[in-house]
Chains A and B, each alone.
Chain A
């Protein structure tokens, strides 16, 4: 392994030198100001200078949430963002994790691919993404949510959709910025950021750090109806650090996320033998990447990215404590990979995008566990677990042809080989009609989710698991129906094969029967300068061969919000998230009631660079729950939380 790393490093250095030396050939752009108007108009140009972004090449419904929207609406976590757009539901375990169900498929958080600056941040051992407050939304330029299967371009895990978090660039976020808030349940946040850009050398750097702490709610005693006493404690302690260095077309970045939380609420619901204090779930994610793009001719554009990913459950994790013992976990994982993506434009009508990638992953076979026989003393540090090495080779190609100026057809396929799950082939196809005021897309997409060590080895283990597969047909449209009114609709039919479920004895994952899903999403936006509003609705209908309703998923969800700016200094925002009744997988609590939860934010700009705000979450203190396969009351959702804060930006 060491030998591979050394050779790999040499190769990267060589590639950099080649790239750097080529920049010397650029023409002096300042002289463009000296030429005549006629010459400027007659200058032949090549199109597209921006970095090739694969997410934008996926033929699918895309929703973009800009930093401006995040600020105006007071989104604090990635769940806040997703809860307000169509198609997402949650099972929020208040302590360890939050499960996100995209387009109605219950799962272990591993059907949605989360990317930061184009590099996956999903946990390596399970393929799942960790919800929570550890994402630094103050350092986000925008979040792109791509709906539906996208494995042709992204491979495993891109089943329900992709959440692509794009962090701020040095060029567009210069100066110092500070974001802080404090409020109920001992909630505190501090974010510091700094951006510098030198136009002469085309060099920039952006650094941002975040620290957050919250006890999130009062879950003790009478506030909840389960096993918790008044002394139960619950916290989430998050840290995040982003760096981005740009030099010409090279970007070097690092994103580090760390989430520490108590595991009390989770284990205590399973029995009163679990103690209520001192547990710690401590997980960290580190992504480092180097990416650069080259345009060897006017028709070719290439982006090459090399990345290192690490997701480790740190060895000071204390999962749970009982009267006679404690249990300590350790699970390290890392991955090194490189990918080359290229776009070739043959002519005005025909273009193609393709790529190849190679990954080496080193994953823990299972948790390494140590025990102590005391409630007081921590167990010794767990040894390094048995590690599994996997290699994967992937390639994809997507061809696009403009049949008419407004009508585009595209077809693609992807081939994946992995030493763990072998070969997978994924096809896709689409027809897109683009007019001035509307776009209609007809999509056929497939996707897969490959089993990971966590799936193969959980409980008694099952090494014959097949990849989960999704086949999806969708019609999505976007209309500007009037000057300020936009309507977006999607109707889709999904067929989900080989879904992972636990066996009858709850001792291993097995592949289940096919599930069918019909979904409808509709959104209406009314956007004026001082008044902006939106309402969206999602309907989901499941049927299997017995026409059973799927547990955990509400058939109806609806979100609505209004942002009003009475003066240029004041912004007021109110929104509401509605979830209808849903079936729960527990005999004692067979149903979870519907709920309508209101949130609001009021901001006041003192000076151009200084803003105060008050953010009230769950204004009416609505008591609501999410589903679980245990008692419903184990999943009480956040109570009324009042935050006051400040945003300051100094150029």
Chain B
């Protein structure tokens, strides 16, 4: 038994180690890049700290982090609105007010309404990839269609918000059912 155990272990590890990895673009890398693209087409109100060049642009991830380390790696050099980017991982919702954009992860599906309470009347753009989160009041909902990332814009949410979205971004958006 000892010998067979040992050989099985050896075989599994060697087979596993020889699997070839190949490059590919992952879903959350593209979603992370989209955050910067969205920001290009959104206008924050004059009183927002987005216009304060001394402060960084803060992207918050609320809930379990689906990006792994990609946000940090991508925005290590990349600016948003010509400002250095800080990534904030939020477990205490009070920290939401420090952000300019927040991404609500799927782990917070049952708490979207609560999170939106924290954003109410603040210049914060809310993005999520929770299915049908648009109907809950999220500004931009990302999804997948035929292995491509798509997004929907919630006009009503933007009307209520101090942030304004450029019509050119709407041209790329899909209509959510």
Given contacts A64-B107, A436-B132, whether A29 and B13 have CB atoms under 8 Å apart is no
Chain B residue at smallest Cβ distance from A417 = B1
A33–B69 Cα distance when bound, in Å, is: 17
Give the residue of B1, B5, B92, B149 whose beta carbon is less than 8 angstroms from that of A68. B92
Q: Hey, which chain A residues are within 8 Å of B144, CB to CB?
A: 45, 47
CB distance from A314 to the nearest CB of B (A): 29
Task: Confirm or deny: B159 has a beta carbon within 8 angstroms of a beta carbon on chain A.
Answer: no
Task: Confirm or deny: A295 has a beta carbon within 8 angstroms of a beta carbon on chain B.
Answer: yes
Task: Confirm or deny: A25 has a beta carbon within 8 angstroms of a beta carbon on chain B.
Answer: yes
Task: Confirm or deny: A588 has a beta carbon within 8 angstroms of a beta carbon on chain B.
Answer: no
A613–B106 Cα distance when bound, in Å, is: 32
Give the residue of A12, A45, A50, A296 whose beta carbon is less than 8 angstroms from that of B68. A50
Given contacts A41-B172, A356-B12, A436-B131, whether A46 and B69 have CB atoms under 8 Å apart is no
A40–B144 Cα distance when bound, in Å, is: 13
Given contacts A18-B17, A483-B113, whether A171 and B147 have CB atoms under 8 Å apart is no
The answer to whether A49 touches B27, judged by C-beta atoms less than 8 angstroms apart, is yes
The answer to whether B9 touches A8, judged by C-beta atoms less than 8 angstroms apart, is yes
Type the 1/0 row for B51-77, where 1 means its CB is closer than 8 Å to any CB of A.
000000000000011111110111011
Stretch at the interface among A196-204, A322-330, A546-554, A621-629: A196-204
The answer to whether B30 touches A529, judged by C-beta atoms less than 8 angstroms apart, is no
Task: Confirm or deny: A484 has a beta carbon within 8 angstroms of a beta carbon on chain B.
Answer: yes
The answer to whether B25 touches A27, judged by C-beta atoms less than 8 angstroms apart, is yes
The answer to whether B91 touches A296, judged by C-beta atoms less than 8 angstroms apart, is no
Task: Confirm or deny: A298 has a beta carbon within 8 angstroms of a beta carbon on chain B.
Answer: yes
A residues 338-385 in Cβ contact with B at 8 Å = 338, 340, 356, 358, 360
Give the residue of A44, A171, A483, A527 whose beta carbon is less than 8 angstroms from that of B72. A171
The answer to whether B118 touches A529, judged by C-beta atoms less than 8 angstroms apart, is yes
Chain B residue at smallest Cβ distance from A51 = B68
CB distance from A34 to the nearest CB of B (A): 10
A11–B16 Cα distance when bound, in Å, is: 11
Task: Confirm or deny: A302 has a beta carbon within 8 angstroms of a beta carbon on chain B.
Answer: yes
CB distance from A107 to the nearest CB of B (A): 30
The answer to whether A391 touches B5, judged by C-beta atoms less than 8 angstroms apart, is yes
Measured as residues with beta carbon below 8 angstroms from the partner, the interface class of chain A is: 35 or more
CB distance from A345 to the nearest CB of B (A): 12
Given contacts A171-B69, A393-B8, A436-B131, whether A27 and B13 have CB atoms under 8 Å apart is no
Given contacts A27-B23, A49-B70, whether A32 and B9 have CB atoms under 8 Å apart is no
A568–B69 Cα distance when bound, in Å, is: 30
Q: Hey, which chain A residues are within 8 Å of B73, CB to CB?
A: 29, 199-200, 202
Give the residue of B17, B23, B92, B147 whose beta carbon is less than 8 angstroms from that of A45. B147
A27–B22 Cα distance when bound, in Å, is: 9
The answer to whether B8 touches A37, judged by C-beta atoms less than 8 angstroms apart, is no
Measured as residues with beta carbon below 8 angstroms from the partner, the interface class of chain B is: 35 or more
A360–B67 Cα distance when bound, in Å, is: 36
Give the residue of A8, A15, A436 whose beta carbon is less than 8 angstroms from that of B135. A436
A49–B34 Cα distance when bound, in Å, is: 17
CB distance from B86 to the nearest CB of A (A): 10
CB distance from A543 to the nearest CB of B (A): 35
Task: Confirm or deny: B160 has a beta carbon within 8 angstroms of a beta carbon on chain A.
Answer: no
The answer to whether A296 touches B9, judged by C-beta atoms less than 8 angstroms apart, is no
Chain A residue at smallest Cβ distance from B92 = A68
Task: Confirm or deny: A486 has a beta carbon within 8 angstroms of a beta carbon on chain B.
Answer: yes
The answer to whether B27 touches A48, judged by C-beta atoms less than 8 angstroms apart, is yes
Give the residue of A43, A246, A419, A527 whose beta carbon is less than 8 angstroms from that of B148. A43
A26–B27 Cα distance when bound, in Å, is: 15
The answer to whether A172 touches B150, judged by C-beta atoms less than 8 angstroms apart, is no
Task: Confirm or deny: A22 has a beta carbon within 8 angstroms of a beta carbon on chain B.
Answer: yes
The answer to whether A33 touches B114, judged by C-beta atoms less than 8 angstroms apart, is no
B residues 10-28 in Cβ contact with A at 8 Å = 10, 12-14, 16-28
The answer to whether A25 touches B27, judged by C-beta atoms less than 8 angstroms apart, is no
Task: Confirm or deny: B155 has a beta carbon within 8 angstroms of a beta carbon on chain A.
Answer: no
The answer to whether B9 touches A37, judged by C-beta atoms less than 8 angstroms apart, is no
Task: Confirm or deny: A67 has a beta carbon within 8 angstroms of a beta carbon on chain B.
Answer: yes
The answer to whether B118 touches A294, judged by C-beta atoms less than 8 angstroms apart, is no
A12–B13 Cα distance when bound, in Å, is: 8
Q: Hey, which chain A residues are within 8 Å of B77, CB to CB?
A: 30
CB distance from A1 to the nearest CB of B (A): 9
A residues 1-30 in Cβ contact with B at 8 Å = 4, 7-8, 11-12, 14-15, 18-19, 22-23, 25-27, 29-30
Given contacts A11-B13, A18-B18, A19-B17, whether A528 and B148 have CB atoms under 8 Å apart is no
The answer to whether A49 touches B28, judged by C-beta atoms less than 8 angstroms apart, is yes
Chain B residue at smallest Cβ distance from A3 = B6
Task: Confirm or deny: A480 has a beta carbon within 8 angstroms of a beta carbon on chain B.
Answer: yes
Give the residue of B23, B66, B92 whose beta carbon is less than 8 angstroms from that of A26. B23
The answer to whether B13 touches A45, judged by C-beta atoms less than 8 angstroms apart, is no
The answer to whether B22 touches A32, judged by C-beta atoms less than 8 angstroms apart, is no
Q: Hey, which chain B residues are within 8 Å of A356, CB to CB?
A: 12
The answer to whether B8 touches A340, judged by C-beta atoms less than 8 angstroms apart, is no
A436–B113 Cα distance when bound, in Å, is: 13
A140–B19 Cα distance when bound, in Å, is: 34
The answer to whether A294 touches B33, judged by C-beta atoms less than 8 angstroms apart, is no
CB distance from B66 to the nearest CB of A (A): 6
* Max count, chain B CB within 10 A of own CB: residue among A29, A46, A68, A532: A29
Q: Hey, which chain B residues are within 8 Å of A50, CB to CB?
A: 66, 68
The answer to whether B10 touches A14, judged by C-beta atoms less than 8 angstroms apart, is no
A366–B6 Cα distance when bound, in Å, is: 27
The answer to whether B20 touches A296, judged by C-beta atoms less than 8 angstroms apart, is yes
Task: Confirm or deny: A42 has a beta carbon within 8 angstroms of a beta carbon on chain B.
Answer: yes
Type the 1/0 row for A615-633, where 1 means its CB is closer than 8 Å to any CB of B.
0000000000000000000
The answer to whether B148 touches A199, judged by C-beta atoms less than 8 angstroms apart, is no
Type the 1/0 row for A535-578, where 1 means its CB is closer than 8 Å to any CB of B.
00000000000000000000000000000010010000000000
Type the 1/0 row for A184-201, where 1 means its CB is closer than 8 Å to any CB of B.
000000000000010110
Q: Hey, which chain A residues are within 8 Å of B67, CB to CB?
A: 49
Task: Confirm or deny: A312 has a beta carbon within 8 angstroms of a beta carbon on chain B.
Answer: no
Q: Hey, which chain A residues are within 8 Å of B148, CB to CB?
A: 41-45
The answer to whether B69 touches A199, judged by C-beta atoms less than 8 angstroms apart, is yes
Q: Hey, which chain B residues are within 8 Å of A527, CB to CB?
A: 111, 113-114
Q: List 7 A-B contacts (CB under 8 A).
A: A11-B13, A18-B17, A22-B21, A32-B33, A41-B148, A46-B27, A66-B91
- The chain B residues found within 8 Å of chain A, CB to CB, are 1-2, 5-6, 8-10, 12-14, 16-30, 33-34, 36-37, 64-70, 72-74, 76-78, 89, 91-94, 97, 107, 110-111, 113-114, 117-118, 120, 131-132, 135, 144, 147-150, 172
18 more CB-based (< 8 A) A-B contacts, given A11-B10, A11-B13, A338-B13? A29-B29, A29-B74, A37-B37, A38-B172, A40-B30, A43-B149, A45-B144, A46-B26, A197-B72, A199-B69, A199-B76, A302-B19, A304-B13, A436-B135, A480-B113, A484-B114, A529-B118, A532-B114
By Cβ-Cβ distance, the 4 closest A-B pairs, closest first, are: A529-B117, A22-B21, A172-B89, A199-B72
